[in-house]
Copies of this chain bind each other. A is one copy, B any other.
Amino acid sequence: MTLQLDDIDLKILALLQQHGRLANQELASLVGLSASPCSRRVKALEEAGFIAGYATLLDPKHFDLQLTAYIQVRLEKHSQAILDAFELAMSSYDEVLECCLLTGSDADYQLKVLVCDMEAFKRFLLEKLTTQQDIAGIRSSFVLKQVKNQTAIPLPKS
């Protein structure tokens, strides 16, 4: 932490969240600074860990990735070794975009999976998920419509 954010920092972060490749010069003029302090602030924000990284967002439709599924997984046993093995396996699969351990649900894990079609989904289930040890149950839901899917997190309103 060790860095107190002011309004300008928050503006910078809000703009960068939406436009990751905004040129420093333009960013500076949008937040009302000249270029040099602006780039210094961005660097400080990176070094303090506020900025986790930069990403290019691709359009799944252009790659024939037309099926997004949420899979809820229940495990038989809950020893650390079993959880670790499951997490490690899921982390290694490219089609698993998200994997989290849940509470308040009858499932243990929820996965978000992105694949081409139902056939590829079936292969994921049969070849990658159900080959895991100690799975007690699986329930899949499919996305009919992505209403919203943003990477930007809510920031304090300055």
Contact = CB atoms under 8 A, between A and B. Distances in A.
Interface residues of A, number: 64
A155 B116 CA distance: 10
Given A54-B21, A55-B18, A105-B141, A153 B100 contact: no
Contacts of A104: 140-142
A87 to B, nearest CB: 5
A51 interface: yes
Copies of this chain assembled into the complex: 2
A97 interface: yes
A59 interface: yes
Contacts of A115: 154
A142 B100 CA distance: 9
A150 B112 CA distance: 10
Given A48-B62, A62-B50, A153 B114 contact: yes
A91 B56 CA distance: 22
A147 to B, nearest CB: 4
- Which among A1, A150, A155 has the greatest number of chain B C-beta atoms within 10 A? A150
Interface string A115-158: 10000000000000000000000011111111111111111100
Interface of A: 1, 13, 16-21, 48-60, 62-63, 65, 68, 70, 87, 90-91, 94-105, 107, 109-110, 114-115, 139-156
